[in-house]
Amino acid sequence: MPFICRIILFCIGWKARGKAPDVPKYVMIAAPHTSNWDFFYTLLIAFQLKVQVYAMGKKSLTTGHFGFIMKWLGIIPIDRSKSNNIVEFTIEQFNGHEKLIVIVPPSGTRNKVAYWKTGFYHIAHGAGVPICLGFIDYGRKTGGIGPLIYPTGDIDADMKEIRRFYLDIRGKYPEKQILDE
């Protein structure tokens, strides 16, 4: 699969950058998240870099004719019709597995938002795992894995460091992303 994904990325003019961190568990930020195409590129890049990732998605993605494929691709179904404590659920998943990589888009949506949600931070801090800075940069046609950030508990300082990494990364629809905070 990595070789096939490398060929597909080459044919469409994209490149994967970075390598998987040498830690068994982490929360990976998926940013910026401005298009459904982000999922496609993320999968290609994850397969090429040999990173087995899981992502939370609305339950409807995992039902119907292609639901089994979405589950195979790593979608963890979330029922948005009822209140869920996703942070606690995900911390429990980290505590119950020796190896786990969960992708979380900090914007929480493909639409323009005023600020990033901090669930990814609370998950990482609560589970005692680092945050990996994953990215899809449509401006450079690259995607990949950046540095690890270890949450200190000082969310304001840690978020400034995280946001700094994404300042020059452009989403498919730049008008939908937050450029600074």
Which residue has better confidence, 47 or 114?
47
Angle at 33 between CA 125 and CA 153, to 5 degrees: 15
CA distance 129 to 14: 30
Average pLDDT over residues 74-85: 74
CA distance 109 to 112: 8
State both tokens at 173.
């629809």
Label residue 108 by pLDDT band (50, 70, 90).
Answer: low
Domain residue limits, the chain: 2-176
Label residue 149 by pLDDT band (50, 70, 90).
Answer: very high
CA distance 118 to 28: 13
Q: Give the type of residue at 117.
A: K
Least confident of 63-67, 128-132, 151-155, 159-163: 63-67
Label residue 181 by pLDDT band (50, 70, 90).
Answer: very low
Q: What pLDDT is recorded for position 82? A: 66
pLDDT tens string 127-147? 999 999 999 999 999 999 999
Q: What pLDDT is recorded for position 111? A: 61
Q: What pLDDT is recorded for position 169? A: 92
CA distance 115 to 103: 18
Least confident of 19-28, 29-38, 161-170: 29-38
| Residue 56 pLDDT > 90 | no
Which residue has better confidence, 179 or 134?
134
Average pLDDT, the chain: 88
Angle at 83 between CA 80 and CA 85, to 5 degrees: 105
| Residue 179 pLDDT > 90 | no
Q: Give the type of residue at 100.
A: L
Q: What pLDDT is recorded for position 48? A: 93
Contact (CB, 8 A) for 25 and 97: yes
